[in-house]
Amino acid sequence: MSNSTPLPLKIAIATYGHTAALKQGKVAIEGVSPDFIEVKPIIAAFRRMVRDVEFDVCEMAAATYMIARENGAPFKALPVFLFRRFHHAGLVYRDDAGIHGPKDLEGKRAGVRAYSVTTGIWTRGIMTNEYGVDNSKITWVVDDEEHVKSLVLPKNVEQAPQGKSLVDLMASGDLSAAFTDNAGIGRAGAPADGWQSGGRIKPPEYKEMFPDAEKLEAAWFAKTGIYPVHGLIVVKDEVLARHPWLGKALYKAFLESKEIYLKQLAAGESVSDKDEHYRAMGKIVGDPLPYGIEANRTSIDAMMNYSYQQGLLKSKHAVDDMFIDPSI
């Protein structure tokens, strides 16, 4: 339980429909005096947290967190997931690349902004586990650095030549496929956050690997129960150690803020540019923004398994070791 003096915390999270009430002070964090630090784009906060542990509480890409935690990062995740979407759309290929399906990527070169970008992990995982693609037989070309500096990339990952972007390499034919600038854009309600993207290639110049993505995504969810996680919340270990009540207080506040947003969505209100996206997701999954460990165990397990398969995690980890349990 918190004491009578509010705990000052530096918090770096983006403003979404489901965090707006929290950041606007309409929802209080019990026992906390929050100092919301605005970082734009929010991806810059991920890197600052991973490398300098700059904030007490911070938004972070799920894969970045898992890799960082395995490498000794002094913060732990709350099961609060700030962005969700599916990943069959957004991987495109050249018409002359001899590609007719996912398996045809084997033996070819494909571009992705960074190997650990969340979009890339999910789509590679789907191709491996649903279509039998051997990821090790694809050469992945990246043109950005990974958030976690200590990450040792697999041998099938190459850095793009100096001065060459993925756009250049795709245009020249050096790459047969690549992720679009905003993977999934072009469909109703799809988000346009650059940090969720896997590259900088813009459709419709190239063909989608899964042109019927929406149907495939709904069928995949019905079959697997996996609703891909993106951003989550991390909290400094030392702050949690000193204030063991904090995890529950933060979770309660994030949940309350989300519930306000869900009521606004149900009422048809216009709150953010993601409203139609989450209404569309809700038709497939029910709650478009599920929080908590149990509600997300299948999806977290899949993210960790895919990351392990792709050489981003050295070991298989238990979900409960990676997350704060807000019920305790």
Q: 1 pLDDT band (50/70/90 cuts)? A: low
Q: Of 191, 224, 257, which marks where a domain is finished? A: 224
End-to-end CA distance of the chain: give it in Å, rounded. 12
The yes-or-no verdict on residue 184 having pLDDT over 50 is no
Do 67 and 175 sit in the same domain of this protein?
Answer: no
Q: Note the pLDDT of residue 185.
A: 27
pLDDT at residue 204, as a whole number: 53
pLDDT (0 to 100) of residue 186: 30
CB atoms within 10 A of CB 185: 17
Pairwise CA distance, residues 31 & 245, whole Å: 9
- 187 and 304 co-located in one domain: no
- Whether residues 213 and 152 fall in one domain: yes
Whether residue 156 sits in one domain with residue 129: yes
CATH number, domain at 195? 3.40.190
CA distance 93 to 190: 20
Q: What is the pLDDT of residues 55-77, one digit of tens each?
A: 999 999 999 999 999 999 999 99
The confidence band for 181, taking pLDDT boundaries of 50, 70 and 90, is: low
210 lies in the same domain as 132: yes
What digits encode the pLDDT tens for the residues 98-114? Answer: 999 999 999 999 999 99
Would 246 be classed as within a structural domain?
A: yes
Q: What's the domain count of the chain? A: 2
Task: State pLDDT tens for residues 267-283.
Answer: 999 999 999 999 999 99
The percentage of the chain sitting over the pLDDT mark of 70, rounded to a whole number, equals 92
Q: Confirm whether 115 is domain-assigned.
A: yes
Question: Residue 156 domain-assigned?
Answer: yes
For the segment 25-37, what is each residue's pLDDT rounded down to a tens digit?
999 999 999 999 9
What per-residue confidence (pLDDT) applies to 199? 43
> Span 179-196, mean pLDDT?
42
CATH number at residue 78: 3.40.190.10
Is 121 inside any structural domain? yes
User: Are 162 and 281 in the same domain?
Assistant: no
Report d(CA 325, CA 328) in Å as an integer.
Answer: 6
One domain, residues 215 and 116: yes
Mean pLDDT of the chain: 91
Q: Contact 32/2 with Cβ under 8 angstroms?
A: yes
Q: Within a domain: residue 1?
A: no
Examine residue 328 and state whether it is found in any structural domain, yes or no. no
Kindly state whether residues 232 and 318 are assigned to the same domain.
Answer: yes
Please state which of the ranges 15-19, 150-154, 291-295 shows the lowest mean pLDDT.
150-154
Q: What percentage of the chain carries pLDDT values higher than 90?
A: 88
> What percentage of the chain's residues is helix, strand, coil (to nearest 5)?
40, 15, 45
User: What is the band of 328 on the pLDDT scale with cuts at 50, 70, 90?
Assistant: confident
**pLDDT value of position 92:** 95
Selected residue with higher pLDDT from 196 and 49: 49
Domain boundary among 224, 250, 279: 224
pLDDT for the residue 180 = 86
Query: Residue 154 pLDDT > 60, yes or no?
Result: yes
Q: Mark whether 95 and 218 lie in a shared domain.
A: yes
**Backbone dihedral angles phi then psi of residue 326, each to the nearest 5 degrees:** -70, -5
Q: Is 22 helix (H, G, I), strand (E, B) or coil?
A: helix
Report pTM.
0.91
What pLDDT is attached to residue 191? 36
Residues 6+ away with beta carbon under 8 Å from 150: 71
Higher pLDDT, 264 or 328: 264
Minimum mean pLDDT range among 1-15, 117-131, 204-218? 1-15
Query: What 3-state class would DSSP assign to 273?
Result: coil
Residue 327 lies in a domain: no
Asked if residue 278 and residue 165 are part of one domain, the reply reads no
Domain match, 23 and 100 both = no
Domain encompassing residue 160: 91-224
Q: Does 142 reside within a domain?
A: yes
Q: What is the pLDDT, as a whole number, of residue 54?
A: 98
Confidence of residue 192 (pLDDT cuts 50, 70, 90): very low
